[in-house]
Amino acid sequence: MDIKEIVQDLYLKIKDIEDKGNLASYIPELENVDSTSFGVHISTLDNLNFGAGNYQDKFSIQSIVKVLSLVMAYRTLGEELWKRVGVEASGFSFNSLIQLEVENGIPRNPFINAGAIVVADILLSNLKDPKKDFLDFVKNLSNNKNIGYSNKIAASEKEVGYRNAALCNLIKSFGNIENKSADVLDFYFTLCSLEMNCEDLSNLFLFLANDGYTVDDRKQILTRSQTKRINALMQSCGFYDESGEFTFKVGLPGKSGVGGGIVAVHPSQFAIAVWSPKLNKKGNSYRGMRFLEEFTTKSESSIF
Ligand code: GLN
């Protein structure tokens, strides 16, 4: 079977399974989405671009943005970055405060909220016009110049962002946040509100399958070594306390978000994005996980 057929068949199969997930209701605006939406898109290095279902409908990418903000911070700070944030799986939920206290405000990794808040602080200190510069970076990486933030979603999250405020202030009390907490949180919520569709997402992440070079114009975004490290982090930390499970069942580096999106990368081959808004108990898309598990099984494309 070829890849298109596998994607299409699995799309039809998983679309009809009972969706046992729930919407991320802790961010009120994320409930205003058609919970039956389901899309998937794959982009390969040998120029296959194929999508099924709602792959052209944009959605809130939420924590998937943490990979892109990390990439931008890594380009800026280089290895110094790892003094401010660790590279170890947390084994706790994405918004947990527990380890931060005992580990002196150094977040376990850049993909839990605490780590992404530190990365947001780094960007805030180093960019002239942080919201615009970050968006320009993403647009330049993507073929779609219409990608943008959702002010509604950012505002909705800000209104109820008590845990993120607690994380940011706790980290600041240890001296690992340079800017004002309110400014860091405003930037973090804005980053999380970025919207795009599955096609944009799989195109955008393709440079991580291509040794750090964009595919169309071979612009170097990261060095080969940095690219390897971002993929390694997605493999070990991309799904919070379900990262082991994703590695076990899917076997690709990837990243999820509470908007129901998941993107996964097969180095030297492809990037694939799935979106289905209802989440499992760990905050990862229920049907997205199921789809990717069956996809790597059928196409024999786990990296292991
Ligand atoms: N913006 C969300 C939050 O901070 C992102 C969480 C996620 O996607 N896992 O809670």
Q: Where are the domains of the chain?
A: 3-62+194-299, 65-192
- Residue-level pLDDT at 144: 87
pTM of the model: 0.97
CATH number of 65-192: 3.40.710.10
**DSSP assignment letter at 8:** H
The sheet that has 194-196: what strands, in order across it? 59-60, 194-196, 148-149
pLDDT, averaged per 10 consecutive residues of the chain (304 residues), comes to 94 96 94 97 97 98 98 97 97 95 97 98 98 96 92 97 98 98 98 98 97 95 98 97 96 98 98 98 96 98 97
- Residue-level pLDDT at 276: 98
- Residue-level pLDDT at 236: 97
CA of 192 to the centre of ligand 1 (A): 7
Domains 3-62+194-299 and 65-192 fall in the same CATH topology? yes
- Residue-level pLDDT at 47: 95
CA of 45 to the centre of ligand 1 (A): 30
Round to whole Å and give the CA distance between 263 and 253. Answer: 9
- Residue-level pLDDT at 143: 79
**Secondary structure of 115-139 in HEC code, one letter for each residue:** HHHHHHHHHHHHCCCHHHHHHHHHH
CATH number of 3-62+194-299: 3.40.710.10
Pocket of ligand 1 (CB under 6 A): 62-63, 94-95, 113, 157, 164, 192, 257-258, 283
Determine the atom of ligand 1 nearest the C-alpha atom of 193: 1
Structure tokens at 270: 């492809």
Probe ligand 1: pick from 27, 240, 285, max atoms within 8 Å of CB? Answer: 27
106: CB partners within 8 A, 6+ apart? 84, 85, 86, 174, 176
37: CB partners within 8 A, 6+ apart? 53, 54, 57, 59, 260, 275, 276, 277
